Structures are given as structure tokens and as C-alpha cells.
């Protein structure tokens, strides 16, 4: 009966057995990779949360970038590229700013203290109160908005592009997406629960390869139907600019200044991103891993943005009523049998690589920063691991709950800007986190109480700026708030900024050269595609 239904499904919907086998093989491969280390029982908390500090640069690079790319990010950015052209790539390539800061300033500092979480570093530099508020803020964000939004938008994107393939689950779209949220969330939670960071990294490497392969297929398919790479400048010359006018509503060229500071939050102060570097075998591997990841951001910018530009060249400005249809249009109209299966796996990979990393980082923050510090100071390694695992189960429930809530909000009011509202709430906290981490790293002796008050003040600043400067671009608003907060701590603490010798650290001369090359490459990209 099952075989008959499968064959009928394929016949009616055009879903090939090749595509089905590719998807099945992908999930089996991810599961096998996740469980491959189970023969060696996880014994210590350092093994579980930091993979025994043994990660080499390829694992750091590929796992970090896989975590960075989300399912709806692919759809959303490709749609934005259809509207704004190459300017959308600015958000990707300028990540190199934050990656270089992390490589040469923040990560060396963290590794010097051999911390497991960023919270531990903040505690050393800024005291218990600031450390606690940082940890609780991140635990709250991870367990609700981050996981919930990733599950919802990932499942939504999968069904949006491949809805006909999943009709066997349910004819009702809302039900289908709900099932996908549950299945993908549970699958990611299970292997993270069992294997910790080691399992996450192993699966992330596979997911990165799948992401890259799926992206390359879409890229070359789109460029082929446009007529070749040269046609990008022939048919879409106005779309091939990184910089839009300063009065552009969404992406004025001035946004790069605010983006520079917000990149500090993501690449230097985000536990889910930084954790791989904290688990590095040594500083050299951490720095090389991060910078190779930076090079991958260039590749991902091409993969995500160029297909949107190419589709604009194929269809014209009025070709799509909804820009978010760019990715589904390319998949459904141009991809052959087999390629669709790979791209579907790429969407699954983009979702799971984000969710599993967030699960693991949340477990680390809870176990190390809260459970060990406040609830059970004498906790054994076993107790800490179990506390982390309970946190994963809790965050699975809370994340799925938020994901389902977002699902029902989306279907009850498709035009509602609830995601934007949630992001605004997250951004309010992110600005304060940038102020905290910059005070901890760049200032010699920041006052703990003043830093705590300033963090809370940045949230107030957000509301004031939004009220009095309603039309100000978010990136610009964030820039002024971060600069204002840091200046307050600097002046009121009567501290001094560390000199460059104290700030910059490198594992070798070769790494220094690599960093300079990356910086020059970023500058040249801005010059060439201005």
C-alpha cells in the first residue's frame, strides 16, 4: 500500500524517485554522522560542550558558515537581490569585517582565559551582574525567537518551494508546515542531545557541503538561462552596484557603518558562532577557520544574490509580483529531476545547521553560566551534561511553541509584520551586547555598575531614537546607540582604551598576511562594484 501511494505521489506530482532517494540518503547521512561518535561515550563537560577543545580549522570554518545560513535567509535575500541587485550582497561580504575583528582581537582574548562561554569572560572583566544579564538575555533569545523563527521560516520556506511534494503529509498547508516544524526540530534536538558539539560540527560539515552544492546548482541554472555571466552587465547593469543612494529606504550605502558595529555582536559576541572557535585546538586553527569562513561568505554572497539578479534579467522588473517568489520560480521552472532533491536537502540543511547550533549553545550557557554558577556549585561533569540536555529538551518545546505561534500568526494575517517586530526586540538587546563586549575588550578598567546601567540604557535609547527619528535607517540608528553607549562607559568609568599591541594577537606571520589579504579584498570589492 505504501509503495502504491509513493508511486501515485510521484506520478501525480512529478516527484521523481531520484529526488526521493536523495532526500532519504541525506537524512541517513546526517544521522550516521551525528551518531558516529557514540561509541566513545561523552565523559566530561568539556567533551560535550567544546569537543575537548580539539576542533581544527576546516571544522570551524564549515560549521560556522553552515550555522550562519538560514533557509528563509536564502529565499529572502534572493528576493531582495531581485529588487535591489548586488547591494543585497553587502550584508554577506561585510561579514568579513566582524570575522577579522573576531580573528585578531576577540577570539585570542577569549582563548587566553580558556573560557567555555562568553559569559565567563564578561564575568572576569565586568562582574557578576553584567555577566548574568548577558547570559539570561541570550538564553531567552535562543530558546524563543532564534529557534522558533528558524523552525518556522525554515519549514515555511521548504513548503513554499516544494509544497506539491509534501501533500502526502496533509492537503492543508498549515498542517503540513506544523508537521515539518515538529519533525525537523525533533530531529535536530535528538542528535544534539546525544552528541553535543562534536555531533553538531560533524553534521554541520555535511550540511555545508549540501548547502554549497544546492546553491551552485541554482546559481549556474539561473546564469545559464540568462545567457551567461557576461549578460549580467548587459541586461542588468543598474543592478550590479554594492552601494545605493544614501536616502535609499532599505539599503543606503551608509548602512555599512552600523553594520560594522552589529557584526561585532554576531561574529564576536554570539555564543552559537563563537563556540566553535572556543573549541579550537589552538589560536592558529581558530584564526584560520574563521578567515576561511570569511572567504566562504564571499562564495555564499554570489550563490544567494546573483540568481536573483539573473532572474530579474530574465523576467524584467514586472516579472514577479512577489520578490520572495524568485527562489521558488527558479526551482520549479528550471531545475531538472535530481537537482530538485539536492536543493530540497539544501533547505533542510540550512534550517538544521542553525537550529542544532542554537540548541548546543543554549545548553552550554544554561549548564555553565546558570546551573553550575547558581543552582549547583558542586555539580559534576555528568550533572552538568544532564543539565545541558534538559535545556535542549526545554528549548525544543519552547522553540516549537514559538514556531507554531508564528505559523498561526502568519496564516491569520499574511501581511502582518510580526517577524519584523520580533527582530526589533532582538536588535534592541543586540546593541547593548555590543556595548558590553566592546567595553570588556577595548577598555582597561570599565566600571561594572556603569556598564550594567548603560546596557539597560541602550534599550531606552532604542525607543527614543525610534520615536524622534522615525525615518532613520535601522543600521544607522544602531550605530549611534552603540557609539553613545560605549562613550558613556568610557567617560564615566574614567578608563583608557587599550593600545594596539595589547589588542591584536596572531598565531603566525602567515595568518597576518591572510588577514591583510582579506581586508584588501573587501576594500577592492567595494571599489570595483561601487
With cut-offs at 50, 70 and 90, classify the pLDDT of residue 416: low
- Which comes out higher in pLDDT, residue 243 or 14? 243
Say how far apart CA 115 and CA 139 lie, in whole Å: 18
Cell readout for 423 is: 527582530
DSSP 284-295: HHHHHHHHHHHH
Whether 264 has a pLDDT exceeding 50, the answer reads: yes
Say what the pLDDT of residue 72 is.
67
Q: Which residue has the cell 540536555?
A: 389
Q: Under a CB-based contact definition with an 8 Å cutoff, are residues 158 and 479 in contact? A: no
Amino acid 3: pLDDT: 44
Q: How many Cβ atoms from other residues are within 10 Å of residue 5's Cβ?
A: 10
* pLDDT > 60? residue 310: yes
pLDDT for the residue numbered 144: 86
Averaged over 110-121, what is the pLDDT? 93
Burial class (CB in 10 A: 0-12, 13-18, 19+), 396: buried
CA distances from 54 to 49, 58, 204 (A): 11, 12, 16
Query: For position 93, what pLDDT does the model report?
Result: 93
pLDDT at residue 350, rounded to an integer:
86
Cell triple for residue 448?
Answer: 561594572
The mean pLDDT value for 244-271 works out to: 87
| pLDDT tens-place string over residues 199-215 | 889 899 999 999 999 99
Nearby residues of 505 by Cβ (< 8 Å), 6 or more positions away? 104, 105, 108, 109, 112, 283
- Average pLDDT in the chain: 87
Average pLDDT of the segment spanning 308-337:
86
pLDDT score for 486: 95
pTM: 0.90
Residue 14 has pLDDT above 50, yes or no: no
What's the CA gap between 162 and 156, in Å, rounded? 10
All structural domains of the chain with their residue ranges: 2-36+46-410
Residue 5 has pLDDT above 50, yes or no: no
C-alpha cell at 453: 546601567
What is the full DSSP assignment across 379-397? Answer: --HHHHHHHHHHHHHHHHH
> Looking at domain 2-36+46-410, does it have CATH number 1.20.1730.10?
yes
Are residues 174 and 455 in contact, defined by beta-carbon separation less than 8 angstroms?
A: no
pLDDT of residue 11: 42
Confidence of residue 9 (pLDDT cuts 50, 70, 90): very low
Amino acid at each position: 500500500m505504501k509503495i502504491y501511494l509513493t508511486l501515485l505521489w510521484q506520478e501525480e506530482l512529478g516527484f521523481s524517485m531520484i529526488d526521493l532517494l536523495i532526500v532519504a540518503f541525506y537524512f541517513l547521512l546526517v544521522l550516521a554522522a551525528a551518531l558516529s561518535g557514540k561509541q566513545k561515550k561523552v565523559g566530561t563537560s568539556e567533551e560535550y560542550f567544546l569537543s575537548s577543545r580539539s576542533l581544527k580549522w576546516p571544522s570551524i570554518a564549515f560549521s560556522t558558515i553552515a550555522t550562519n545560513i538560514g533557509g528563509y535567509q536564502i529565499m529572502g535575500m534572493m528576493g531582495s537581490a531581485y529588487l535591489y541587485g548586488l547591494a543585497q550582497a553587502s550584508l554577506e561580504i561585510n561579514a568579513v569585517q566582524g570575522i577579522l575583528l573576531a580573528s585578531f582581537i576577540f577570539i585570542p582574548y577569549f582563548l587566553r582565559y580558556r573560557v567555555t562561554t562568553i559569559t565567563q569572560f564578561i564575568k572576569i572583566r565586568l562582574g557578576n551582574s553584567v555577566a548574568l544579564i548577558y547570559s539570561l538575555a541570550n538564553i531567552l533569545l535562543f530558546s524563543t525567537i532564534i529557534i522558533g523563527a528558524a523552525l518556522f521560516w525554515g519549514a515555511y520556506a521548504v513548503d513554499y518551494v516544494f509544497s506539491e511534494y509534501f501533500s502526502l503529509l496533509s492537503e492543508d498547508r498549515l498542517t503540513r508546515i506544523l508537521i515539518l516544524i515538529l519533525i525537523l526540530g525533533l530531529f535536530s534536538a535528538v542528535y544534539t542531545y546525544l552528541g553535543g558539539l562534536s555531533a553538531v560540527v560533524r553534521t554541520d560539515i555535511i550540511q555545508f557541503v549540501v548547502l554549497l552544492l544546492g546553491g551552485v546548482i541554482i546559481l549556474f541554472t539561473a546564469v545559464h538561462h540568462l545567457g551567461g555571466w557576461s549578460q549580467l552587465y548587459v541586461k542588468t547593469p543598474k543592478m550590479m552596484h554594492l552601494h545605493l543612494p544614501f536616502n535609499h529606504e532599505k539599503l543606503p550605502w551608509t548602512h555599512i557603518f552600523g553594520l560594522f558595529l552589529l557584526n561585532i555582536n554576531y561574529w564576536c559576541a554570539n555564543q552559537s558562532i563563537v563556540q566553535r572557535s572556543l573549541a579550537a585546538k589552538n589560536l592558529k586553527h581558530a584564526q584560520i577557520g574563521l578567515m576561511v569562513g570569511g572567504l566562504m561568505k564571499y562564495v555564499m554572497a554570489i550563490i544567494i544574490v546573483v540568481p536573483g539578479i539573473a532572474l530579474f534579467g530574465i523576467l524584467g522588473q514586472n516579472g514577479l509580483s512577489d520578490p520572495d517568489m524568485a527562489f521558488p520560480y527558479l526551482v520549479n521552472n528550471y531545475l531538472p529531476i535530481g537537482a530538485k532533491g539536492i536543493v530540497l536537502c539544501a533547505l533542510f540543511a540550512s534550517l538544521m545547521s542553525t537550529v542544532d547550533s542554537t540548541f548546543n549553545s543554549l545548553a552550554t550557557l544554561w549548564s555553565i553560566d546558570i546551573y553550575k554558577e547558581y543552582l549547583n556549585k558542586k555539580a559534576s561533569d555528568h550533572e552538568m551534561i544532564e543539565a545541558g540536555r534538559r535545556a535542549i529538551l526545554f528549548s525544543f518545546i519552547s522553540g516549537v511553541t514559538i514556531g507554531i505561534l508564528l505559523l498561526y500568526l502568519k496564516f491569520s494575517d499574511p501581511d502582518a509584520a510580526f517577524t519584523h517586530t520580533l527582530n526589533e526586540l532582538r536588535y534592541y538587546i543586540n546593541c547593548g551586547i555590543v556595548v558590553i563586549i566592546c567595553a570588556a575588550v577595548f577598555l582597561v578598567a570599565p566600571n561594572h555598575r556603569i556598564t550594567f546601567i548603560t546596557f539597560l540604557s541602550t534599550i531606552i535609547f532604542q525607543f527614543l531614537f525610534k520615536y524622534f527619528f522615525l525615518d532613520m535607517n535601522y543600521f544607522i540608528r544602531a550605530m549611534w546607540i552603540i557609539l553613545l553607549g560605549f562613550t558613556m562607559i568610557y567617560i564615566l568609568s574614567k578608563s583608557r582604551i587599550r593600545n594596539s599591541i595589547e589588542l591584536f594577537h596572531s598565531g603566525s606571520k602567515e595568518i597576518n598576511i591572510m588577514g591583510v589579504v582579506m581586508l584588501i579584498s573587501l576594500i577592492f570589492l567595494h571599489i570595483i562594484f561601487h
